[in-house]
A and B are shown apart, each in its own frame.
Chain A
Amino acid sequence: MAIDERADRIDAAIAMAGRSVSRRDLLKVAGAGVGYAALAAIISACGGGRATTPPAGGASVAPGASAAPGGSGGAAIQPPATAVNLDFWNPFTGGDGPYLKKIVDQFNSETPNVQVKFSTQKDLYGSLHAAKAANKLPQVSIVHLDAIPQNASDGIFQPIDDLISALGLSEADFTEDVWKNGLWKDHRYGVPLDTHTLSFYWNKALFRTAGLDPETPPTSKDDFVAAAKAITEKAGVPGFMVVQGGGGANFLLGIEWATTFYQGGGEWTNEDFSESLINSQAGVDSSNFWKSLVDDGISPKGTESDTEIAAFKQGKNGMVMSGIWETNGYIEALKDDLGAGPVPQIFGKGVWSGSHNMGITTREMSAEEKQGAQYFISWISEHSLEWAKAGQIPARQSVVNSAEFKALPVIPDIQKQQADARFFPPFPAAGDALFGPQGAGQAAVAAVTGKKDAKAALDEAAANITKQLKENKAKYGF
């Protein structure tokens, strides 16, 4: 608590530090969206304690009210007849943790026979691996979509095809790409809890200063560049800041690069995951687009990771593309001046996304324990409305289509791009192809800073990723 109070006194910039450091940790972990898995718990608490309370309209909605209309529901799975205790691990060390804990608390009070202990792990996958070696795995854990192949191969998670078929879950309950890429060697290991997309935010006050309509955000490349130029020239602050360095650069520029890469029709690999294709024309165009914003004087040179976020909160940056988990911080900083929505289509449709899934581990458990774990997962999946308040888009279509979700601030505006959400393909270390020390994010940074030619940098990265894919194919047999 004292830490949160301190965070309030130190300016918004401090909150940002937690994310900067945490992201570095995180991108090695999975490259997915919780911006909080922190190097130092203190700092992450600073970053996380700042979530706003949703307006009364949203808060008054009981999460339980969002039962799936027309969905298959959890009817097929019942709580076990005898009482069981479950451990549930998750990586949410920041401000989003309490939202999930609230759902779990509600579950515990409604389900006397299944009592779930909510346990947050700073380094989730490191902890899971260590727990596996010590035979101390929890029964249930969050797993990022792109971390499934690695962690399933390492024997951390077990297939849950039986649960999926018992619940009658299918692609129609989620979005296409998250469902498609959740399959590892013909098995499913997780039920998607959310999707977190790259999102587009703009400062309405700066739009007005620049003579732009604050209610009509840019949706195309030309509109976007024109708006950015207008703000840079007329408002005296950058219209858009391209991250060119700093510890989070591979991640922050990486998810923007991946978005325009997807939009240009880019694919990470060939059909059988044996060759990296990041150096395709889509990749080169993607790098060059972000570079042009720097070369044309729209973005300041040398922008460091996270400073674009801080500047946006201070009203010194006209537009920003950030992970959706930044939403609460932006609402708090800009209030009514915040505009949010789908990322402009620079080259077409497509937006970088990640997804938290709920999985059952390989820990030895009784039939009752397993039944309890299955019931818990299906229950949480249907009651994920509260999770949207943490700045995440619930993965279940039934929740997203509910009136309660649509009444939430900001998040539903961003959710409009849901159909364009794209995810990493299912092979081990897929996230590393973007965020790793030899990934596409690194190559994009080298290109926007003019250190290397866009094509040459991507060629080099692609060659290394292909080598890694070949070794992994031999090792994991996919």
Chain B
Amino acid sequence: MTAAAAPPPVAGTTAPTRSLRRIGETWYAGYLFILPHFLLFLFMVGLPFFYNLYIALTDYTFGGEAQFVGLENFQNLANPDDYHFPVFWNGVWNTILFVLTSTPLLVGAGLGLAVLVDGKYRGRNFFRALFFAPWTLGIAVVGLLWWWLLNSQSGLLTLFLQGLGAQSVSWLTTNPLAWFSINVATLWWTVGFNTIILLAGLQAISPDLYEAASIDGATKWQQFKAVTIPSLRPILLLVITLQVIASFNMVGQSQIMTGGGPGNETRTALLYMYETGFTNGGQFQLGQAAAMGLIVAAMMVVVSIINFRVFRSDEA
């Protein structure tokens, strides 16, 4: 009876459902899910990386015939008698200097702004948009904008200071002011990104925690230290890592605002890499530039690993 009432099984309708479920249970399901991104990654990051490795072993210059030169490009950078050596390593030091100054500034200010725009008050969305807006600009715009604000003869700030009877200040042509100016410009440009990420982190913290803390008599500052910071740790790790990488990659601010000067004091490793590989003055030494890029990339990997270790050990 029941058997007669049940519709006869139709092979065509049940089989796909079953096989889909089976795929979900197979070992390769996960791989299928990452496949689209993996293909993108392979062609946009993976292959270029290995091609870069290959170029670094040649004397490729776009034109002419590329000769295999082994590790010569790396040896040049390790040899104090090579003419690339002083400018490149000076550039590495400048890069590290920028990472060390800009990271605390941008993460600290980002956190501060995130807390400020997390409050419940009228117009907070306006401020969120305001702080984030400069991030949408390109580096050429940002660099020129700040150059016109700061240049010592006809910059807006200079004219303002002169109006007040003050001397003009060489914001971009003397150090430490040049580095200070680059840091300020970078802060204005990119702090909004850190702010938005940290704001998302703040909003994910359960209000119960703050409520419990205030019942226990914790002040706002104690709540910030004991609730906010520990809860934000994974997000902070992300923001710091991204910031370190972004700061490592700094090129445009130096190129546009200071031209690498005074002297070579704000010329970063990657700016010199660009000049070596992609300009006539640098003789289009793409092989040499590729080697520089790999060395900087290796440094970034090491720094990122250290970064993760430090935060993990804190958690334990």
Contact = CB atoms under 8 A, between A and B. Distances in A.
Contacts of A245: 170, 172-174, 261-262
B206 interface: no
Interface in B46-92: 59, 61-64, 81-83, 86-87
B189 interface: no
Interface in B153-172: 153-154, 168, 170, 172
A17 B282 CA distance: 24
Contacts of A248: 259
Contact of B279 (A20, A126, A304, A445): A126
Contact of A449 (B82, B86, B262, B281): B262
Nearest to B60: A133
A129 B83 contact: no
B223 interface: no
Contact of A429 (B258, B262, B283): B283
Contacts of B173: 244-246, 249, 302, 304
A28 B267 CA distance: 14
A429 B275 CA distance: 12
B84 to A, nearest CB: 9
Contacts of B259: 24, 246-250, 305
A266 B263 CA distance: 23
Given A28-B282, A310-B154, A467-B81, A17 B147 contact: yes
B281 A17 contact: no
Q: Which of B262, B272, B275 has the most CB of A within 10 A?
A: B262
Contact of B153 (A129, A311, A437): A311
Contacts of A27: 281
Given A150-B280, A247-B258, A28 B275 contact: yes
Nearest to B275: A28
Contacts of A311: 153
A379 interface: no
A150 B83 CA distance: 18
B256 interface: yes
A446 B263 contact: yes
B281 A432 contact: yes
B260 A437 contact: yes
Contacts of A130: 62
Among A245, A250, A428: residue with most chain B CB under 10 A: A245
A29 B144 contact: no
B61 A129 contact: yes
Contacts of B263: 442, 445-446, 451
B87 A437 contact: yes
B154 A129 contact: no
A475 B279 contact: no
B154 A13 contact: yes
B86 A154 contact: no
Contacts of A125: 279-280, 284
A31 interface: yes
A76 B168 CA distance: 62
A104 interface: no
B83 A471 contact: yes
A147 interface: yes
Contacts of B275: 28, 437
A468 interface: yes
B255 interface: yes
Contacts of A168: none
A269 to B, nearest CB: 15
A471 to B, nearest CB: 7
A85 interface: no
Contact of A468 (B64, B83, B262): B83
A304 B152 contact: yes
B63 A154 contact: yes
Contacts of B258: 247
B195 interface: no
B278 interface: yes
Given A132-B62, A307-B154, A437-B275, A28 B281 contact: yes
B101 interface: no
Nearest to B171: A304
A153 interface: yes
B298 interface: no
Interface of A: 13, 17, 20-21, 24, 27-31, 39-40, 43, 125-126, 129-130, 132-133, 147, 150-151, 153-156, 244-250, 302-305, 307, 310-311, 428-429, 431-432, 435-438, 442, 445-446, 449, 451, 464-465, 467-468, 471-472, 475
27 contacts: A17-B144, A17-B147, A20-B147, A24-B256, A40-B144, A129-B62, A133-B63, A147-B280, A151-B63, A154-B284, A155-B63, A246-B151, A246-B172, A246-B173, A246-B261, A247-B255, A247-B258, A250-B259, A303-B153, A304-B151, A307-B151, A429-B282, A431-B280, A432-B282, A435-B281, A437-B264, A445-B261
Interface of B: 59, 61-64, 81-83, 86-87, 140, 144, 147-148, 151-154, 168, 170, 172-174, 255-264, 267, 272, 275, 278-284
